[in-house]
């Protein structure tokens, strides 16, 4: 994968492919052409036939030299905004045309940061975990441990990049509260306050 990264760097230095600029000042601009995580690679380039051809050659050389094979069935080209003749560009590069937003490494790629729909997957995962745990008849301490260690981690990963809408936070709080205060399938207390009454 380091060899693939080096080939893309060389293509950028020779202006065979161009990524996107990050930074607001002329001297601090950084050009991003690719991002890699384990065996996943995101490549950014302009909508030009020549750049697609150069990328295709890089991928072919990578396969021959490394004896690794790119899974073209799982490879997608994602157009940003309107792209003319995107099907032909995808045919040159290989793979299929995908649509944004999509999920990449568990994160919504290309989604609006304030869109409520991108949090549906997180809430569904929380509900799925709770459904499994409900059948185990855990004591209060066990339920509290599961909430603290597992359930809180699911939204935290997404919140490391995107702010959670208030209604999503409230929904997750309701799920946690109902799970914590249940007993044998019955909700014994939805919340508690610090007072003299017993809880």
Task: Note the pTM of the prediction, 2 decimals.
Answer: 0.66
Same domain for 20 and 89, yes or no, is yes
Average pLDDT, the chain: 83
Specify the pLDDT at position 26. 64
Domain membership of residue 156 as a residue range: 116-187
- Distance in angstroms (rounded) separating the CA atoms of residues 140 and 152: 17
Residues 81 and 123 in one domain: no
Write out the H or E segment, with its range, that includes residue 145.
Answer: helix 140-146
The lowest-confidence range among 66-70, 114-118, 129-133 is 114-118
State the average pLDDT over residues 94-103: 86
End position of a domain, from candidates 47, 70, 99: 99
**Structural domains of the chain, count:** 2
Q: Per the domain annotation, does 197 fall within a domain?
A: no
Q: What is the greatest pairwise CA distance in the chain?
A: 75
Alpha-carbon gap, residue 157 to 144, rounded angstroms: 20
Place of tokens 């014994």: 188
Task: Check whether residue 83 and residue 128 sit in a common domain.
Answer: no
Report, as an integer, the average pLDDT of 103-131. 82
Query: For the packed helices 49-66 and 2-13, what is the interaxial angle rounded to 10 degrees?
Result: 150
pLDDT score, position 29: 77
Q: Is the peptide bond before 37 cis (omega within 30 degrees of 0)?
A: no
Task: Please identify, among 74, 99, 124, the residue that sits at the C-terminal boundary of a domain.
Answer: 99
Please indicate, yes or no, whether residues 145 and 57 belong to a single structural domain of this protein: no
Same domain, 180 and 128: yes
């Amino acid at each position: 994968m380091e060899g693939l990264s080096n080939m893309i760097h060389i293509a950028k230095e020779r202006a065979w492919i161009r990524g996107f600029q990050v930074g607001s000042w002329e001297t601090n601009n950084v050009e991003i052409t690719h991002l890699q995580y384990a065996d996943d690679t995101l490549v950014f380039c302009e909508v030009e036939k020549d750049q697609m051809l150069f990328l295709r050659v890089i991928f072919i050389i990578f396969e021959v030299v490394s004896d690794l094979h790119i899974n073209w069935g799982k490879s997608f080209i994602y157009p940003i905004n309107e792209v003319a003749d995107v099907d032909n560009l995808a045919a040159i590069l290989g793979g299929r045309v995908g649509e944004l937003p999509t999920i990449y490494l568990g994160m919504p790629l290309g989604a609006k940061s304030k869109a409520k729909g991108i949090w549906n997957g997180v809430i569904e995962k929380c509900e799925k975990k709770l459904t499994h745990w409900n059948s185990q008849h855990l004591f209060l301490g066990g339920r509290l441990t599961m909430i603290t260690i597992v359930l809180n981690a699911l939204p935290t990963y997404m919140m490391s990049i995107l702010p959670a809408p208030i209604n999503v936070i409230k929904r997750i709080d309701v799920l946690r509260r109902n799970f914590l205060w249940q007993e044998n399938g019955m909700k014994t207390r939805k919340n508690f306050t610090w007072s003299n009454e017993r809880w």
